[in-house]
Structure 1
Amino acid sequence: MKSKLNIKNGLLYTSIKLTHEGSYVIIDNVIIDTGAFHTIITTDFLDELGAKFSNDDKLIEASGYGGASSYAVRKKIDSISCDSVALKDFKIDFGEIDPNERINGLLGLDFLKEAKIILDLEELVMYTK
C-alpha cells in the first residue's frame, strides 16, 4: 500500500500512528526528514498516548541544523506506522521541534531506513519494496 504525501511550504508531510500499551494516537503534520537521524515527535503526543516514563527512557541532547540544541526523551514505543508500514518496539525522541507549534514531528532516517521506504516524489507517495 502506498502512503500519500503532501507538500506544504516546500516540505514533505505525512501522518503517522503511534501505539503504546493499548492506546494509540494519530499525528498529522509530520515532516519526512531524511536529514534527521532520529524520529522526533512533540511531547504533547506522549501525553495523549498516556505513556508513562520508565527506567529504559533516556534523556538525550538533540542538535539541529546550525548547531542549535535541545533536550528530548528517547522512549521505546510498541509501534509506529504510516498506513500499512509498521515497525514494532521503535525508539522515538519526544521533545520540542517548533516553538510555534506548526510541526508535530519529524519522521527521520531511522524509520525510513528500517522500514525500507521508497519515496516517489513524482507521484507524491511512499511505500516499501
Structure 2
Amino acid sequence: MNIDYRDGLLFTSIEIEYRGKRKVIDSIVIDTGAAESIISPDIVDEIEIYPEEDDEIVTFVGVGDSEHHSFVKKVKTVRVGSFLLKDVELDFGIIDPKGKINGLLGLDILVKVEAVIDLKEFKIL
C-alpha cells in the first residue's frame, strides 16, 4: 500500500464496508501515536453511517489536551492495502474541522495487520 508524504504527515487510503455499502476514504493519516483509529463522520454520510441511540460514545484527548467525542460503530470490513479485517469497531468523530484529514489510522488497526512502515519507499508492507 502506498503512502503519500505531505505537509509533514503520512497519508493513505482505506476502504470500509458498512451494511452492504463500501467507501474508499482518502486523506487518512497514519498515526502511530493514536491508540484508536477514527474516521470523520462527514466523509461516510453516503454509506449512511450516522450516530444512533445505541452507539457507544467515547471521549478522547487530542493535541493540546483538547477533549473530543466520537461514536463507535462496528463495520463489516476495513481494507488497508492488501489487508482485510472483519467486524472492526471504529470511532467516528471530528478530527480536522477544515476537512483536510478524513481520519487517523491508529495502532488498533496497524497492530492487527502487523504493518511495517517503509519510510524509504513510502509503503506499508
**After superposition, where does 1:76-115 map in structure 2 within 5 Å?**
76-115=74-113
Unmatched tracts of structure 2, length 5 or more: none
Aligned to 2:62: 64
Aligned-residue offset at 1:31? 0.3
| Structure 1 ranges of 4+ moved more than 3 A | 51-54
2:14 alignment partner AA: I
Alpha carbons 2:70, 2:92 under 8 Å: kept: yes
CA contact (8 A) 1:46 1:94 kept: no
> How far apart, in 2, do the equivalents of 1:62 and 1:72 lie?
8
The residue that corresponds to 1:25 in the other structure is 23
RMSD of aligned alpha carbons: 1.3
What whole-Å deviation, never above 9, does each CA across 1:69-102 have from its counterpart, x for those lacking one? 1110011110111221111111111010011111
Flag the 1:99–1:51 CA change in 2: closer, same or farther, 3 A.
Answer: closer
- The letter for the 1-side match of 2:74 is K
Q: Unmatched 5+ residue regions in structure 1?
A: none
Counterpart AA for 1:77: V
Counterpart Cα distance in 2 of 1:12 and 1:83: 15
Deviation of 1:50 after TM superposition, in Å, equals: 1.5
Calculate percent identity across the aligned residue pairs. 37
| Equivalent residues of 1:77, 1:92 under 8 A apart | yes
What is the count of residue pairs matched by the alignment? 124
Give TM-score, length-normalised by structure 2. 0.93
TM-score normalized with structure 1 length: 0.90
